[in-house]
Amino acid sequence: MNLDQARFNMIEQQIRPWEVLDGEVLALLSVVKRENFVPVGLKALAFVDMELPLREGGARGQVMLAPRLEARLLQDLAVQKHENVLEIGTGSGYMAALLAHRAAHVLTLDIEPELAAQARKNLATEGVSNVEVRQMDGVTGAPADGPFDVILLSGSVAEVPQALLAQLKIGGRLAAIVGEEPMMRATFITRNSEAAWTTTEPWDTVAPRLVSFAEHSHFSF
């Protein structure tokens, strides 16, 4: 497989048509080698428009998100070079690597020891030095390390926990995929003051659940 051609096709045929037009983001997708973060047996699928299971048999449902979703989240968060980022759901470490190229520092959390260890290895192999991978449940964030300029949930949730919103700096923003299948929304929340947040939901998508985040009750009384 011609990796450079496949990468070019991914960018031009999947990502750019999904309204990812930021030149810096598009250039970054050429620099960070997605195929080096994909599980070994799936490297031929590194540039395909699909989610990729991170463990054999799709254990616990954890995946690499589709390339166009990763790129759109990265673009719309507009991370700046001076900013500190918290990511919930490290997965393979690919999104953390993308964030690291745009941020001062990234702290990324994954509940699964196996995935956290593999992500550390992937990031080290790629020479990404401004990311800390921490194996822990991300549902409560990392309050001792905050507040953060940017928080990204790399997966979907029924709702964003208030504990995470409290870890945003004033002016900071959080991105998550919120809702239930078949309809979820990309949700961007900006903290305007100590007690005020603004929410926008600019586009629809779907993504697998992050492990351990609470679901809405479906019981009615």
Give pLDDT, residue 147: 98
Does pLDDT of 218 surpass 90? no
Rounded Cα gap, residues 135 and 197, in angstroms? 29
Does pLDDT of 219 surpass 50? no
Q: How many CA atoms lie within 13 A of 99 on its CB side?
A: 31
In this structure, are strands 148-157 and 131-135 parallel, antiparallel, or unpaired? unpaired
SS3 at position 10: helix
pTM of the full structure: 0.94
Rounded Cα gap, residues 185 and 201, in angstroms? 6
Q: What CATH architecture is 3-205? A: 3-Layer(aba) Sandwich (3.40)
| Alpha-carbon 192 to chain mean position | 23
Rounded Cα gap, residues 91 and 53, in angstroms? 10
Question: Mind listing the pLDDT tens digit for each residue in 130-182?
Answer: 999 999 999 999 999 999 999 999 999 999 999 999 999 999 999 999 999 88
In this structure, are strands 52-53 and 63-64 parallel, antiparallel, or unpaired? antiparallel
The answer for residues whose C-beta is within 8 angstroms of residue 195's C-beta and 6 or more apart is: none
Q: Identify the CA nearest to 139 among candidates 191, 62, 212.
A: 212
Question: Mind listing the pLDDT tens digit for each residue in 127-141?
Answer: 999 999 999 999 999
Question: Mind listing the pLDDT tens digit for each residue in 49-96?
Answer: 999 999 765 456 789 999 999 999 999 999 999 999 999 999 999 999
Beta bridge partners of 106: 85, 131
Inter-axis angle of helices 23-31 and 94-102, to 10 degrees?
Answer: 130
- 214 pLDDT tier (thresholds 50, 70, 90): confident
**Taking the chain, what is the end-to-end CA distance rounded to the nearest angstrom?**
57
Rounded Cα gap, residues 47 and 1, in angstroms? 11
Rounded Cα gap, residues 205 and 186, in angstroms? 7
Does pLDDT of 1 surpass 80? no
Rounded Cα gap, residues 8 and 26, in angstroms? 10
List the structure tokens of 142.
């990392």
